[in-house]
Structure 1
Amino acid sequence: MKKISVMVNGLPGQMAAMVARHILKDERFTLFPCSLTGPEITEKTCTVVNQTIELIRPHDRESAMEKRERPAISVDYTHPSAVNANADWYCKERLHFVMGTTGGDRKKLAESVLNSAVSAVIAPNMAKQIVAFQAMMDYAAAQFPGLFKGYALEIRESHQKGKADTSGTAKAMVTYFNRLGIPFSEDQILKERDPAAQHRRWGIPQEYLSGHGWHTYSLTSPDRTVHFEFTHNVNGREIYALGTLDAILFLHQKVILGEKGKVFSMIDVLKGV
């Protein structure tokens, strides 16, 4: 089987670097020798394992790519502020992509793909087990609307200091709880980015302060006699990288089948539809 060429964008960032390392270790893939990076990055190259990757700033992307063979799939782990511009560029260049970066205008992001000749997997969370939990909550919201009407909700999330936006997973969970009868807005999510507080108050291990995703959703009845709590805590980034590989394989199969202008989710990836 021909190896799938994958362009991992966002190097030298830690999430992009982890995905790139997995690409190099996996015989099903080859790592494309270029990566889109931010305008603030001064390095011209970075090394992943033993491979040198050229870092391409936004204003250099056309000239850097015009003489190269296109990768089969692009993966985006860049920055929330770059989501829409990058997606528009992928669509213009006909690069099918996996969008692992959160933030940006998500409606516009989907519209860009739907109006293009490319397909994409777009998900705020690439961890399959957490995505399955979200699917369970979506099912509950559809089958039992208003179930928690009157309950008080608290959503807390903690991520590494460098994560600029509120957790995309937490924001998705807000929509499920709304349908379950609880009025709650995204700006009510309690967001922690202070490493000292994360270690002292949350109990997050020191070695994972630079890479973690902790979420807790607490529901309390009006008379405070009943309490529900759902928690998923991830230390490190491994779970997201492995899910990203599955998304790449899924999308590549869709491309082979001729799918264009389609937006897929990680739930689609789980189902293998």
Structure 2
Amino acid sequence: MVDATPTPVMVCGVGGKMGRATASAVVRRDGFELIPTALGKGRAGVVDVDGVAVTVIDVDAEDGEAVLKKAMETYPGLIVVDYTLPESVNANGELYVKCGVPFVMGTTGGDRDALLREVKASGNYAVIAPQMGKQVVAFQAAMKLMAEQFPGAFAGYTLTVTESHQSSKKDTSGTAKAIVASFNDLGCDFDVSQIELVRDVENQTGRMGVPEEHLLGHAFHTYRLTSADGTVSFEFQHNVCGRSIYAEGTVDAVGFLKRKVDAKDSKTLYDMIDVLKEGAMN
């Protein structure tokens, strides 16, 4: 018999734009329940999400572990979604593991290798990915597959990467880093420090073609490959306006993770490519 009980979801970082968009997607989606408590850093208060009043607890002022454990007792089967800050990624991951709560980490940045290593070793269920947009994940998976099937295919080519996001995003896109890794497996010699970050309005609207109404929420990426003699070039782009693609994909990841937890799957650490492969996206 299928369990009709909604999956309770805590969205940490609900006070931010991505957190709020995801919380709104949770409210709209059948089978999920946004709980009225969330963790935040340096901020406390109440955030209204489509009629749900979410109380944000400042972990700098209160015991985040106690708050999270109480929420787990009150809402059995709780899954946490994290859209906080890059500098909070590792500490938050440690907290979720310590409490034993399944989580979806959508926040980019932090020490990703340490995060993945610690979560995997713990056996705590989690989906950790730098990109939650469904179609962008498919593109990312295709690039990874091409690199596995045709290693060195672009040896000798020069790669340039330009990514534009809203000015509030300070770190380099995790998606860009993942795509660069595939290009390097294809034979390019490119360091992620070479990725050009475009955050000023003039270049965003002019050079990158970002619509003015989406300056505060967009992700425009261009990857250009040029042969050594300059006679051949390839260009890959993925341009996203708004946040709904990420929010909906995040809720898909929550549903996927819930099924894995319920099935007591032997694998516990996943990424969005795992979600995509299972066809677990609405």
TM-score category (smaller protein) = over 0.9
Match of residue 87, structure 1, among 82, 93, 99:
93
**Residues 119, 259 of structure 1: 8 Å contact kept:** no
Tell me the amino acid that sits aligned with residue 208 of structure 1: H
**Residues 124, 269 of structure 2: 8 Å contact kept:** no
Match of residue 3, structure 1, among 2, 6, 24:
6
4+ aligned runs moved over 4 Å, structure 1: none
Residue 261 of structure 1 deviates from its aligned partner by: 7.0
Match of residue 254, structure 1, among 233, 245, 260:
260
Residue 107 of structure 1 deviates from its aligned partner by: 1.2
Q: 1:141 to 1:261 in 2, by over 3 A?
A: closer
The root-mean-square deviation of aligned C-alpha atoms, in Å, is 1.5
62-71 vs 78-87, which moves further: 62-71
Match of residue 25, structure 2, among 18, 22, 25:
22
**Residues 121, 247 of structure 1: 8 Å contact kept:** yes
Q: State the partner residue of 2:149.
A: 143
Q: 1:148 to 1:204 in 2, by over 3 A?
A: same
Q: State the partner residue of 1:171.
A: 177
Tell me the amino acid that sits aligned with residue 154 of structure 2: F
Residue 155 of structure 1 deviates from its aligned partner by: 0.5
**Residues 123, 269 of structure 2: 8 Å contact kept:** no
The question of 1:207 aligning with 2:213 is answered yes
- The 2-side partners of 1:85 and 1:195 are apart by 33
**Residues 170, 215 of structure 1: 8 Å contact kept:** yes
> Structure 2: 5+ residue runs without aligned partners?
none
Q: State the partner residue of 2:133.
A: 127
Q: Counterparts in 2 of 1:55-66, with a 5 A limit? A: 55-59=56-60, 60=62, 61-66=64-69
Q: Counterparts in 2 of 1:213-224, with a 5 A limit? A: 213-224=219-230
Q: State the partner residue of 2:190.
A: 184
TM-score (normalised: structure 1): 0.95
Deviations for 1:43-100, whole angstroms, at most 9, x for unmatched residues? 4211111111111112321343454424521000111000000010001111100000
Q: 1:219 to 1:67 in 2, by over 3 A?
A: closer
The question of 1:162 aligning with 2:157 is answered no
> Structure 1: 5+ residue runs without aligned partners?
none
**Residues 219, 240 of structure 2: 8 Å contact kept:** yes
Deviations for 1:6-45, whole angstroms, at most 9, x for unmatched residues? 0011021011101111111122111011111121x2x421
**Residues 115, 261 of structure 1: 8 Å contact kept:** no
**Residues 68, 99 of structure 2: 8 Å contact kept:** no
Tell me the amino acid that sits aligned with residue 55 of structure 1: V
- The 2-side partners of 1:196 and 1:97 are apart by 38
**Residues 113, 261 of structure 1: 8 Å contact kept:** no
Q: How many residues align?
A: 271
Residue 116 of structure 1 deviates from its aligned partner by: 2.1
**Residues 119, 260 of structure 1: 8 Å contact kept:** no
- The 2-side partners of 1:229 and 1:218 are apart by 4
Q: 1:115 to 1:260 in 2, by over 3 A?
A: farther
Deviations for 1:97-135, whole angstroms, at most 9, x for unmatched residues? 000001111111112212224210011100111111111
Query: The residue matched to 2:140 in structure 1 has which SS?
Result: helix
Query: The residue matched to 2:207 in structure 1 has which SS?
Result: helix
Tell me the amino acid that sits aligned with residue 47 of structure 1: D
**Residues 144, 182 of structure 2: 8 Å contact kept:** yes
TM-score (normalised: structure 2): 0.92
Q: State the partner residue of 1:44.
A: 45
Query: The residue matched to 1:219 in structure 2 has which SS?
Result: strand
Q: State the partner residue of 2:34.
A: 31
- The 1-side partners of 2:231 and 2:267 are apart by 50
